[in-house]
A and B are shown apart, each in its own frame.
Chain A
């Protein structure tokens, strides 16, 4: 900036007319002189006819190997057919076909490079390089052209045209943005509700069988979905991705229950949302010894005995608890829907 601009040659070619500032560069007065390009490295193939011939034969041999590889790929295609009843033959088909094609391409490539390295000239050559900027004359002409275009169109002179053009250009893409509006519906309250409701049975995922409270022994874990969703439903995966629940039987004495969640468990059987409050992976790993639930995606860890509070990892909120009880037949049912939105946080999550 304010350093003395040292006017020295930029890409110091005699024909380059513009001198660039070297900035903070130190230009030594007595730089060691450039000895110029080093002498050429003489190869065996340059010196001896024998080696040259041998190299030529090697290159041709590699090309023949390539032909062999590609041709055998054609044979292999028929030699290793796939079966319509079992998937085993895929292994051989993939392996041999790949190997043959690889031989065809590798030998071809190595042959070409070998040719270049042994038989084509090895002497490095120098070519002049010029500054990227145009010559003063070219630049002057460019400026002239722009001025001429401006003059002829009256672009600077005619303010009304110019400004209305800018505005038109600004408006033009707006419909293009708007038509994307139907990419998805208004999310509305979909994130706040699941299929759980009063009296909905907890059923095994994926078998769909209801669960008897007496079957949930201490330390056992069940992957659970509500009974009112079915794999044939149009929105099965959407509903499941909100309603999936992990059911665990624990010793009631080990549970620390918050006052507002009293009666949400059934004799030590607790049901928690399986959808991580971090970014939504299924919290599917249960450590029996520690009563910790672990999310395998980012290792958020929840303490089951303590209301699934976060004890480690990037999550911030406990997993929502599903209040459960049993129906008259002894099957586990939900008392209601979750009382807070499940899954990852979102902007107006806590506003109802």
Chain B
């Protein structure tokens, strides 16, 4: 024992370092556990990665900016290199933003990198959420991770807004003014909250410094914590994979972390960085020098918040006129502010709670690791489409003035249309999406049962024309039939013999979800479909079909799955598939 321990390891510095680290932190065990961990591969899994990398880029570029930015609102007279503003009163925050832009080499570049990365971060996180939603990746055991991801999305918006307000320019100042107006509209405590936030009257001299500590410390720290939890849970659960042959709830199919994912994901970080850098180098964003420092009197027309705040701004705009009311004691209820706030909060609550609602309806307590193709869950997909539409209308609502001026339309009509659209379009989107999903499912069934259209028309001896349908290979076929199918339930009495209100609600929701359903093709249906085919139709193109399928390696598996039914009724068995030669 002693001799082996003391034996000096061969292999030079690298092996020496590895040995050093293993004896102190146990890297060998870590590598053994995680080094060959399997990650499934799909382009849509990249969206979360884009969000993660954007965040890293935000940390890097943001740290650079903190070295130059001064979050103070003390009034100064500008005397920098930007001529048009020379001699103007402004806050130190705004002046230092100008200095970063004009007097620090790469300063403007990194300001733009930071802003573009922020826009991309929220966008990628949002798309990632949509991917998770539409593929059902939020189902057990990932409901909590959905909520963590949701928190990250909200924190992303908070990080964005607090950062947007820091330069203390006219545009962001007006954004703060709107926030202040909204806060003041909150019943009972509004005025107090506003005074606490701004340190007195709006705008005061404190808000930039306060937002700064939120923006560079509290919010990013929270994002880091939630990111750690988010990724930790991904490791615990292992990543989901799309349905397909060989992909089951009890395995994970993909490529090993080392080397494939280290190279792919590591490389992808640099690609995201590069793309953001390219955009930042070529496209101006937030040219604060054009706006001037904050002044409560002027305002520019066509002002827009950053895109992710748009839906809330749109909600404010869509509130009808004269909503404000007074109650009997003379207190003011600003429903024109409260209603949009409530709508926004409710929307977020629905998003956060969705996994739990769906789990309650299906009552499915199993773990789900195989993702749904969106068409195979028509109602969920339709609900998602309705939600996206609702969000999109609110979002477009934030641009009513730009839509009106660019398309030469009446502003009033654009706004009224948006108000109507907010209620009509989501319903429309729901039905259209649901029908589309059901049609796609029917199409899948058709392909499995009767093969895919080959586009070749054949004339039969007795004069009939038929199109040849080629059977799809076993792998494609399995992808089309492998999904979970649910059926609605009735409200049933509980142990005490009572039908509870909850049971009734669940029953009607289950009806809403699963009444229209296309069940996956079963083996029995598949066999029956093949038997039903007219002998002549099947026999005639057999030779040609054989020629086609013979070239395809995947068809090789077919005989194996067909063996049992074929043995029972050999005469009626499908000739083409049967004769496909084995390749393996």
Contact = CB atoms under 8 A, between A and B. Distances in A.
Nearest to B264: A116
A90 B108 contact: yes
Contacts of B521: 32
B514 to A, nearest CB: 7
Given A125-B253, A128-B251, A280-B181, A35 B557 contact: yes
A31 to B, nearest CB: 6
Which size bracket describes the interface of B in this complex? 35 or more
B363 A39 contact: no
A96 B105 CA distance: 11
Contacts of B181: 276, 278-281, 343-344
Interface residues of A, number: 127
B411 A297 contact: no
Contacts of A300: 321
- Give the interface SS of chain A, mostly helix, strand, loop or mixed: loop
B37 A1 contact: no
A86 B238 CA distance: 56
A108 B267 contact: yes
A85 interface: yes
A95 B282 CA distance: 6
Nearest to B38: A127
B134 interface: no
Contact of B106 (A29, A93, A107, A279): A93
A125 B475 contact: no
27 contacts: A2-B492, A3-B363, A11-B250, A20-B365, A31-B481, A31-B522, A33-B561, A37-B245, A38-B245, A83-B81, A98-B109, A102-B274, A102-B278, A105-B274, A106-B270, A115-B263, A120-B255, A124-B255, A184-B204, A187-B195, A236-B75, A280-B177, A300-B321, A315-B321, A346-B184, A346-B332, A348-B331
B553 interface: yes
A38 B479 CA distance: 11
Nearest to B175: A297
B366 A11 contact: yes
B1 to A, nearest CB: 33
A22 B195 contact: no
Given A110-B267, A297-B303, A30 B109 contact: no
Contacts of A94: 106, 108-109, 112, 280-281
B354 interface: no
Contacts of A12: 248-250
A311 B174 CA distance: 23
A124 B253 contact: yes
Nearest to B266: A112
Given A106-B270, A184-B195, A299-B400, A1 B503 contact: yes
Contacts of B223: none
Interface in B185-226: 185-192, 194-204
B252 A32 contact: no
B251 A345 contact: no
Interface in B261-317: 261, 263-264, 266-275, 277-278, 280-282, 289, 294-303, 313, 316-317
Given A97-B106, A185-B195, A280-B181, 13 more contacts: A2-B503, A11-B367, A25-B362, A93-B109, A109-B268, A120-B259, A125-B255, A126-B252, A126-B253, A237-B295, A241-B177, A297-B178, A350-B332
Contact of A87 (B102, B174, B326, B520): B102
B324 A317 contact: yes
B19 interface: no
A282 B298 contact: yes
Given A22-B366, A38-B554, A299-B401, A345 B324 contact: yes
Nearest to A285: B301
Contacts of A114: 267
Given A94-B281, A187-B192, A223 B297 contact: yes
A154 interface: no
Interface in A27-46: 28-39
A129 B274 contact: no
A176 to B, nearest CB: 15
A281 B330 contact: no
Nearest to A116: B263
B376 interface: no
Interface in A264-317: 274-276, 278-282, 284-285, 296-300, 310-317
Given A13-B250, A38-B554, A296-B299, A21 B321 contact: no
Contacts of A155: none
Contacts of A30: 522-524
Contacts of A35: 245-246, 474-475, 478, 557, 560-561
A348 B186 CA distance: 11
From A115, A281, A285, residue with most partner B Cβ within 10 Å: A281
B4 interface: no
B489 A109 contact: no
Interface string A328-352: 0000000000000001111111110
